[in-house]
Structure 1
Amino acid sequence: MHTESSSPKNAALVFGGSRGIGAAVARRLAREGHAVALTYVSRPDKAADVVAAIQAEGGRALAIQADSADAGAIASAVGQTADAFGPLHVAVVNAGLYRGSPLDEFPLETLDKMLAVNVRGVFLAIQAAAARMQDGGRIVTIGSNAAVRGGIVGSSVYAMTKSAVATLVRELALDLAPRRITINNVQPGPIETDITADLLDMLAARSPMKRVGRPEEVAALVAYLAGDEAGYMTGASLTLDGGWVV
């Protein structure tokens, strides 16, 4: 028997939604019935492509320039989304930065930038989104299987930041539970994006499944976590990596 959704679907905001995983998430949420805003930093053309694709399928979409290292830009993106589409129902925090370097060569400015985007920026995005979110809303962060095990020389700081995200999500679940807002963390392994384009053969060879993941596979898991059926799951980190860390 079909029953109507208990949670109205309207505004969704995808931080870092112009390319790769974020773009796939934005398009999937639009297909699920959400009006979707997405942020970008330096590629307005890619963001415009995602907006156009959503609108071509009859959805509503908005691109917003916002650096996830900038607290004011994060708050402004949330405000613009709520002004355009109403109170948030879903927030997906996908913006992140990877810079790899061995310990003895790791620049301080790179450390500071990765912490600013991957940890501070994630916290600020969650904080700002929750303030403008409906009770019963959904927050999903995009972490990495590196939080479980990186296994690559030079990835220590990246792994540290993603471990921090997993811990943050687990503990914030308690803060948000009284409002029935769930928060969960998706931890992808290697995914076919423009960032990994030159590494696909190597990554596939190392994978137990002999392939890398597709952005749409991550988006499908995010869509589940953003839906009504996942209303009792919160504080979880779900690894989606074809067996890399098994």
Structure 2
Amino acid sequence: MDFRDQVDLDPSQVEDAGGSGGGGGGFSGLPGGMIIGGGGIVSLIALVLVFVLNNVGGGGEPAQRQPPSNLSEQCQTGKDADQSEKCRVVGVVNSIQDYWKQEISEYRVAKTVLYSGRLRTGCGSASSAAGPFYCPGDQRVYLDLSFFDQLHTEFGAKGGPFAQAYVIAHEYGHHVQNLLGTLDQGSSVPIELQADCYAGVWAQNATRTGFYDKPFTRAEISEALDAAAAVGDDRIQERTTGRIDPESFTHGSSEQRVNAFQRGYEKGSPADCDLGELR
């Protein structure tokens, strides 16, 4: 997913908070605390907590603080986005938000916060164990870049730049839901599947934003589909508990998540991501 070399980036949309950003206690809720709407955290993964809590900032001593980067100096053009992971995040965030600004007249820019360890948010105290998440309380996306390594090593996803883009686009799907007033409507599975569908819609329309020279390749789209499958509730449950309980699904099965992204990508319109049709 190559960016146009000379396209201007807007690094103000991404904040690098460094490590152990403002912590004080771990994430405030295990799976039952991952609530939808009402100021609660909306995470890409809920049951990941069961698997990674002992591995990523969920207990013990906080991680050593890492100094934040000066993204305004490092991330200025698309060429920078092709050479730096953090600048790539800036470019992806810019493209996603540019698309939604074209689609929604009342769209408000939401900042992405890069962090590691623990930090305080408008939804309370959180840690890297929460996975990537959106906080309606402060309208920000929170992202620990180490999650993408874990997505590959712990959950078996192929990884790759477009897998990262899918994750970010999914979280911004929750921001769109928040702005449209649909975030707290219905059960959690359709809400999560709609965010996957919205991610696919952005992927289909990304060239309209001017950040990319050409449409994404089939191989790049497959990275997103593979990541969506890796974080399906059934795959996570089987990996962590050895059994699958559809009654406890919070985000949808691997098949449902893949189908939701594909629906958005193939249809190319947010109108085709209706909550009632995503089950």
TM-score (normalised: structure 1): 0.28
Structure possessing the higher relative contact order (Cα contacts under 8 Å, 6 or more residues apart): 2
* Structure holding more strand per residue: 1
TM-score (normalised: structure 2): 0.26
